[in-house]
Structure 1
Amino acid sequence: MLPCGHTAKIGIIGAGFVGTTFAFAAMIKNLAARIVLVDANQEKCEGEVMDLAHGLNFVETSQIMHGNYQDLADADAVVVCAGRGQRPGETRLDLLQDNVKILKSILEEFKQLHNQTCILVIVANPMDALTYVAKKLSGLPENQVFGSGTVLDSSRLRFLLGEYFEVSSQSMKAYVFGEHGDSEFPVWSHANIGGKPLQDFARYDAQKMEEIFQQTKNAAYEIIKRKNATYYGIALALTDIVESILYDQNKVLPVSHTLADYYGTKDVCLSLPCVVCRRGIKETLDIPLNEEEVQKLHSSATTLRQSLDSIQNLL
């Protein structure tokens, strides 16, 4: 029996840098048989699809098309990339008011499809707050709506740590939890290489670890300053997430979702390790945190609640 991804359909809302780069990455990794891009700028969307479609001869994806919301009625996964971009020097939370309005209009269209088996993945920033909005307004079960989380942030951290310790980033086990933004934090208490804690290595230096994390946290700002947008890294992170959905892989990924009661934190969307499968989030792993990490989790939750308070009039 073929994996479900071979017959699956991915919907991508937003044909900007992130949406189109993800479409390209999804084609290269053969994630799905069909890919549909939807964008308010139909002419641009058509042009992007024409360009991508000319490469179908070289991949297993059988169809990529530009369409409308009705074409998402049978989509297995819908990835929401649409939203105003982050400007140089602007925090993700500064985007909130504008992108909530955009997301609400998208969700109004989506609800009319009555696609109750779809997994909805939010990528547009500020991602955690928008994920919370999507959970409230999409009409889908909570486990079927989540954000891309700190999957990319964790990858950035592993890359930088791998460079420092001179090992493959794929051999680094390190997570970033909390907000996908300024209040995120590294979980040093569980960071290891091949099961050996980082602090047991001769090269370990606490100050250097903090410098590496600051590089991780500020990576998007540095990239935006140089080239105005980030899209390659997040596109590949999305392929990892969507692959786990479509192929029912049960990967453990730090995606953004509503916390039920995690160290006293609840009713806010933050990133923690979850088992991601065809049904969406199967479970949140209960990872023991030290006192400092718990405090940072609470601080991140407070930051997000303040953001959510500022948009209550829009919900």
Structure 2
Amino acid sequence: MQKQTKNQKVVLVGDGSVGSAYAVLMMQQTVMDELVIVDIAKDHSEGDALDLEDTQLWGQPKWVHAGTYADTKDADIVVITAGVPRKPGETRLDLVQKNLKILKTIVGPVVDSGFNGIFLVSANPVDILTAATQKLSGFPANRVLGTGTSLDTVRLRVALGKQLDLAPQTLDVNVIGEHGDTQFAAYSPAKVGDQSLLDVAQAKGLSLDDLKQTEDGSRKKGGQIIGLKGATFYGVATCLTRITKAILNNENVVLPVGAHLDGEYGVHDLYLGTPALINAQGVAQVLPLDLSADEQDQMTASAQAMAKVLNGAMATN
């Protein structure tokens, strides 16, 4: 397929398990016309592009090809999945120094190309790397966002859906804070339709402690998957695809993402997971939840933990 005159262009940086899963999903979407894959393993990215060409017969034709950072010049979105994956027994924060060094080799050349779109970050630790991307690029905070707690929110809604015998899509409950050990479910503002989630759960004989046990299980799910198969990628790739669609479609939809906080929840100049309004601007508006006092304390603790790691990482690098 020849390059079209007018197109929506996504550049994927990092063609590992998450990147390739995202690429397959994006090839099935109608919002993108051109996908460029950039990876240090050039043969692999070229092979993946050729393989991905063969997915488009029953979808919308797209131009997919391997490329370089120069291809980001006219891209709408640069998606960063490149980085060292988490190993069994490691936390996401264990990856800070390794992946920050990799990130620096990406952001500089992208900015130098003249790129003027939106950065979408999914490499771990995602909150730290999203903040670092914004600081290294100098981009407005709304045009840099991460997957944040989107996957954690999905995992919780899936688990609660099973427990309550409800479709996950009907549950308006979010995991917020760090994508990691200090994350937490904001149960007090959670809804099922116009009803309180806590009331719906209570009617089914489930207490807040029961829900917190479910939350704890969903928090450990990533480590469980890594222990069983070595990596997680389908879930986060689906989250990346949903966020990408919301940006390219200018949807004005509320999604859980890693967004820059500047006063929301009493947090300043940090990226943490929260619901936000997503459109062609990136993060059009952060929509903070009305937390209980205990939940606010958890958010403050999560922010303090992330600030300590971010400040140390940026000072070291």
TM-score, structure 2 normalization? 0.95
Shift, 1:235, TM fit: 0.9
Shift, 1:181, TM fit: 0.7
Q: Is residue 76–residue 118 contact of structure 2 (8 Å, CA) maintained in 1?
A: yes
Matched to 1:17, the amino acid is S
Shift, 1:200, TM fit: 1.6
Q: Is residue 31–residue 61 contact of structure 1 (8 Å, CA) maintained in 2?
A: no
Residue number in structure 2 paired with 1:71: 71
**SS in structure 1 at match of 2:309:** helix
In terms of mean alpha carbon deviation, does 6-15 or 31-40 score higher? 6-15
Shift, 1:251, TM fit: 1.1
Residue number in structure 2 paired with 1:3: none
Q: Is residue 111–residue 139 contact of structure 1 (8 Å, CA) maintained in 2?
A: no
Shift, 1:199, TM fit: 2.3
Residue number in structure 2 paired with 1:278: 280
Match of 1:259 among 261, 286, 290: 261
Structure 2 gap ranges (5+): 1-5
Shift, 1:314, TM fit: 4.1
Residue number in structure 1 paired with 2:228: 226
Q: Counterparts in 2 of 1:294-309, with a 5 A limit?
A: 294-309=296-311
Q: Against the structure 1 CA distance between its residues 295 and 168, is the aligned structure 2 distance closer, same or farther, given a 3 Å change threshold?
A: same
2:119 & 2:72 partners in 1: Cα distance?
A: 11
In terms of mean alpha carbon deviation, does 244-253 or 139-148 score higher? 139-148
Matched, 1:175 2:174: yes
1:151 & 1:65 partners in 2: Cα distance?
A: 28
TM-score, structure 1 normalization? 0.95
Deviation per CA, 1:195-245, whole angstroms, max 9, x where unpaired? 211222322222220111011111110100000111101111111101110
Matched to 2:70, the amino acid is Q
Matched to 2:20, the amino acid is T
Structure 1 gap ranges (5+): 1-5
Residue number in structure 1 paired with 2:217: 215
Residue number in structure 2 paired with 1:100: 100
Residue number in structure 2 paired with 1:195: 194
Q: Is residue 265–residue 288 contact of structure 2 (8 Å, CA) maintained in 1?
A: no
Residue number in structure 2 paired with 1:130: 129
Deviation per CA, 1:101-155, whole angstroms, max 9, x where unpaired? 0000101111111122x11001000000001100101132111001111111111
Shift, 1:31, TM fit: 3.0
2:187 & 2:194 partners in 1: Cα distance?
A: 13
**SS in structure 1 at match of 2:129:** helix
Shift, 1:268, TM fit: 1.4
How many residue pairs were aligned?
309
Residue number in structure 1 paired with 2:43: 43
Matched, 1:143 2:142: yes
Residue number in structure 2 paired with 1:249: 251
Shift, 1:255, TM fit: 1.3
Residue number in structure 2 paired with 1:206: 208
Q: Is residue 9–residue 32 contact of structure 2 (8 Å, CA) maintained in 1?
A: yes
Shift, 1:313, TM fit: 2.8
Shift, 1:273, TM fit: 1.2
Matched to 1:166, the amino acid is D
2:187 & 2:122 partners in 1: Cα distance?
A: 26
Q: Is residue 32–residue 61 contact of structure 1 (8 Å, CA) maintained in 2?
A: no
Q: Against the structure 1 CA distance between its residues 242 and 105, is the aligned structure 2 distance closer, same or farther, given a 3 Å change threshold?
A: same
2:225 & 2:194 partners in 1: Cα distance?
A: 32
In terms of mean alpha carbon deviation, does 88-97 or 268-277 score higher? 268-277
Residue number in structure 2 paired with 1:235: 237
Q: Is residue 187–residue 198 contact of structure 2 (8 Å, CA) maintained in 1?
A: no
Matched to 1:29, the amino acid is Q
Q: Is residue 148–residue 273 contact of structure 2 (8 Å, CA) maintained in 1?
A: yes
1:153 & 1:267 partners in 2: Cα distance?
A: 22
Shift, 1:172, TM fit: 1.0
1:151 & 1:159 partners in 2: Cα distance?
A: 12
Q: Is residue 49–residue 66 contact of structure 1 (8 Å, CA) maintained in 2?
A: yes
In terms of mean alpha carbon deviation, does 177-186 or 207-216 score higher? 207-216
Q: Is residue 188–residue 198 contact of structure 2 (8 Å, CA) maintained in 1?
A: no
Shift, 1:39, TM fit: 0.1
Shift, 1:263, TM fit: 3.1
1:67 & 1:39 partners in 2: Cα distance?
A: 8
1:65 & 1:314 partners in 2: Cα distance?
A: 36
Matched to 1:129, the amino acid is I
Shift, 1:191, TM fit: 1.7
1:263 & 1:74 partners in 2: Cα distance?
A: 35
**SS in structure 2 at match of 1:180:** coil
Shift, 1:267, TM fit: 1.6
